[in-house]
């Protein structure tokens, strides 16, 4: 940088080297650098610094300015700070430049997924896949909800216990929506045409809170709290109607259902809840043939073949479930 002490104070016209400097160009080091990633230039053989590629990609594909830039929290410093310095050094603004606008309008840094006390990563050998940990639709939905309840900037610890709790939460929402639909279709109204308005007031208040939360750095945990406030108000009305036997606030329950589905336009966790685990979807003939072959293999105690067929069925997007009445399949 120019000036005294690494850019602080007045510009004295001198170029000084400080520890905070980063390399725009790395000289070739034999035996260390990969030959194919270096080339000869007027200043010698070498390669660009690792931060350059991101600035180059952004400018080539998106132009001088971008609206949103994402990345892991570990990239905030030094990678993204260096990317800003490089990009704004070319197009202006920042780094002492007086004209122009910032290189990026909004930076979004996500936290890590953790396994116990460690970050989940390939280098540590502790990675999991959705296919292995969430083979069914309800479990996939539960994982989505688990992500929603953790702010994107914070670390999220994954465990079977956490996934189980998320699944129970999703199933509770499913049951609430199903109960509302059943009541709206066949239940009788109470307290006049419009009910008492309690649920509608809850929906109105929570919808405002939801909007404020999602507008405040995408605070999805607060959004999830608003969703369950509507669920609890609905459950209270459903239980009251069943207990007293005088009907329900139909209009209020309809408003609750519409509010929950509006919230889910953001969450995306409600898919598939009406049909359950694969119900309502026709099972391909080839899958059913494999199920029969697996049943025959098990009857002949050819366990290896049975497992092989089970895995093949899974690769086709279906899961075999063994029960007292025989095997069945559900959509993964």
Q: Convert the pLDDT of each residue in 84-140 to its tens digit.
A: 988 988 877 654 444 567 889 899 999 999 888 888 888 788 888 877 777 677 788
Q: Are residues 223 and 143 in the same domain?
A: yes
Strand partners, 326: 323
Domain endpoint, select from 76, 110, 144: 110
Provide the number of structural domains found in the chain.
Answer: 3
For residue 79, how far is the Cα from the chain centroid?
23
Q: Are residues 252 and 204 in the same domain?
A: yes
Confidence of residue 58 (pLDDT cuts 50, 70, 90): very high
Q: Lowest-confidence range among 42-46, 275-279, 327-331?
A: 275-279
Q: How many CB atoms lie within 10 A of CB 177?
A: 20
Q: What are the backbone dihedrals phi and psi of residue 310, each rounded to the nearest 5 degrees, phi first? A: -60, -45
Instruction: Identify the three-state secondary structure at position 219.
Output: coil
Say if residue 78 is preceded by a cis peptide, omega within 30 of 0. Answer: yes
Q: Lowest-confidence range among 210-219, 238-247, 322-331?
A: 322-331
Q: Check residue 277 and give its pLDDT.
A: 44
Per the structure, the complete domain to which residue 212 belongs is given by: 116-267
Dihedral (CA of 243, 247, 252, 255) sign: positive
Sort strands 104-110 and 318-323 into parallel, antiparallel or unpaired.
unpaired
Domain endpoint, select from 110, 129, 144: 110
Q: Are residues 232 and 133 in the same domain?
A: yes
Please give the model's pTM, rounded to 2 decimal places.
0.68
Query: Length of the chain, please?
Result: 332
- pLDDT tens digits, 196-224: 679 999 999 999 999 999 999 999 999 99
Q: Are residues 61 and 140 in the same domain?
A: no
Q: Can you give the CATH number for the domain in which 175 is found?
A: 1.10.730
Q: Check residue 24 and give its pLDDT.
A: 87
**Cα–Cα distance between 196 and 21 in angstroms, integer?**
67
- pLDDT tens digits, 290-325: 888 888 888 888 888 988 998 899 888 888 877 655
Residue 6 has pLDDT above 60, yes or no: no
Segment 14-23 shows an average pLDDT of: 73
Nearest to 221 by CA among 141, 157, 146, 149: 149
Using alpha carbons, list the distances in angstroms from residue 244 to 125, 130, 136, 233, 239.
57, 45, 38, 17, 9
Residue that has been written with the tokens 């119900």 in this structure = 279
pLDDT higher at 253 or 32? 253
Confidence of residue 330 (pLDDT cuts 50, 70, 90): confident
């Amino acid at each position: 940088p120019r000036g005294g002490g690494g850019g602080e104070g007045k510009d004295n016209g001198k170029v000084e080297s400080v520890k905070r400097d980063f390399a725009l160009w790395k000289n070739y080091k034999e035996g260390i650098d990969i030959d194919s990633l270096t080339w000869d230039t007027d200043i010698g053989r070498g390669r660009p610094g690792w931060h350059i590629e991101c600035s180059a990609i952004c400018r080539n594909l998106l132009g001088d300015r971008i609206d949103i830039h994402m990345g892991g929290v570990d990239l905030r410093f030094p990678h993204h700070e260096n990317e800003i310095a490089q990009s704004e050094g070319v197009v202006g603004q920042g780094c002492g430049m007086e004209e122009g606008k910032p290189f990026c309008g909004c930076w979004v840094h996500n936290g890590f997924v953790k396994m116990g006390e460690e970050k989940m990563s390939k280098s540590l050998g502790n990675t999991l896949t959705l296919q292995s940990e969430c083979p069914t639709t309800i479990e996939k939905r539960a994982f989505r909800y688990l992500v929603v309840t953790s702010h994107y900037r914070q670390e999220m610890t994954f465990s079977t216990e956490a996934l189980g709790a998320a699944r129970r939460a999703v199933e509770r929402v499913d049951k609430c929506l199903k109960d509302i639909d059943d009541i709206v279709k066949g239940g009788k109204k109470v307290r006049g045409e419009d009910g008492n308005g309690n649920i509608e007031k809850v929906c109105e208040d929570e919808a405002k809170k939801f909007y404020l939360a999602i507008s405040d750095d995408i605070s999805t945990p607060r959004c999830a709290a608003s969703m369950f406030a509507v669920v609890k108000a609905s459950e209270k009305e459903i239980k009251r109607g069943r207990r007293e036997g005088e009907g329900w606030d139909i209009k209020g329950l309809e408003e609750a259902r519409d509010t929950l589905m509006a919230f889910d336009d953001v969450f995306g966790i409600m898919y598939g809840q009406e049909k359950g685990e694969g119900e309502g979807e026709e099972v391909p003939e080839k899958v059913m043939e494999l199920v029969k072959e697996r049943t025959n293999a098990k009857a002949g105690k050819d366990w290896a073949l049975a497992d092989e067929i089970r895995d093949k069925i899974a690769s086709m997007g279906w899961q075999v479930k063994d029960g007292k009445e025989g095997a069945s399949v559900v959509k993964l």
